[in-house]
A and B are shown apart, each in its own frame.
Chain A
Amino acid sequence: EVHLVQSGAEVKKPGESLKISCKGSGYSFTTYRIAWVRQMPGKGLEWMGIIYPGDSDTRYSPSFQGQVTISADKSISTAFLQWSSLKASDTAMYYCARHHGDWYAFDYWGQGTLVTVSS
């Protein structure tokens, strides 16, 4: 059975760095892209970027390019989303999702990681 398990909730101060994770299991991690999706409080979903763990090819939404870094370590079947300097406006729920290439859709989602940035 496919599972995407994300790291736990984080509380950080503005200016701090952060790296959250998404561990895949139950399938071949290197053959499906993993996307990161932001959901700000009470708002819709926002596509941030996507990585192909097989070769680490990464694409970013223009809105998030330069603001975050997406990476993956295929040896531990884990994708990452990181910030070098958090802002209060980064407060949100962050989801990882597996991209089913043949379907052009996200067929499995992680449980979400809540990131709170507050002084």
Chain B
Amino acid sequence: SSELTQPPSVSVSPGQTASITCSGDKLGDKYASWYQQKAGQSPVLVIYQDTKRPSGIPERFSGSNSGNTATLTISGTQALDEADYHCQAWDGSTGVFGGGTKLTVL
């Protein structure tokens, strides 16, 4: 089965751009999704089909996916964006998540 690799942690200053990567074999040939999980809460979908935002997700969240890497980008990062972020893709009919990245806004 395929694996997705994320950096354990990323730090960013308020107002700056945060980038979180997700790497996997030929990931660019699959759809990647991203989920935000704040402490003690259930995950929330922030990006689907590589680049699309569900209703209610701020425009500062964007995504890309090419080659072996999908990237979640948060522009103008705010303190309330501090959370764990998880990427997810499909290996045939089986889903797989990355290990998660803790985003710290300091």
Q: Give chain B's interface secondary structure class.
A: strand
Query: Is A53 an interface residue, CB under 8 A from the partner?
Result: no
Fill in one digit per residue for A37-71: 1 if any B CB lies within 8 Å of its CB, else 0: 10000011111001000000001111000000000
Question: Size of chain B's interface in residues, with CB distance under 8 A?
Answer: 25
Task: Give chain B's interface residues, CB within 8 Å of chain A.
Answer: 1, 31, 33, 35, 37, 42-45, 48-49, 52, 54, 84, 86, 88, 90, 93-100
Q: List 5 A-B contacts (CB under 8 A).
A: A37-B97, A44-B99, A61-B95, A104-B33, A106-B35
A112 at the binding interface (Cβ < 8 Å):
yes
Q: Which chain A residues lie closer than 8 Å to B100 at the CB level?
A: 43-45
Q: Indicate whether A35 sits within 8 Å of B54 (C-beta atoms), given known contacts A103-B49, A106-B45, A112-B42.
A: no
